[in-house]
């Protein structure tokens, strides 16, 4: 079964769910990295081609 959860990943690569889970984390996952919310958007885009 596919389900999505929100997690934070620490500098050591450990995964920390932001909400309690009803089951232990086990298995495989696809990961989409989102920008750090504390980083202003203009710093993420600085020097990058706006088209991709």
Which pLDDT belongs to residue 40?
Answer: 66
Q: How many helices and strands in the chain, by DSSP H and E?
A: 1, 2
Q: Which two tokens stand for residue 38?
A: 């504390």
Over residues 2-36, the pLDDT tens digits come to: 788 888 888 898 888 899 988 887 888 888 888 77
Distance separating alpha carbons of residues 4 and 11, to the nearest angstrom: 22
Those residues with Cβ within 8 angstroms of residue 19's Cβ, 6 or more apart along the chain or in another chain: 5, 6
Question: 49 falls in which pLDDT band (50, 70, 90)?
Answer: low
The model's pTM:
0.52
């Amino acid at each position: 079964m596919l389900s999505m959860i929100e997690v934070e990943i620490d500098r050591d690569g450990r995964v920390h769910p932001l909400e309690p889970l009803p089951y232990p984390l086990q298995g495989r996952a696809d990961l989409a990295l989102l920008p750090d919310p504390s980083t202003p958007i203009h710093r993420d885009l600085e020097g990058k081609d706006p088209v991709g």
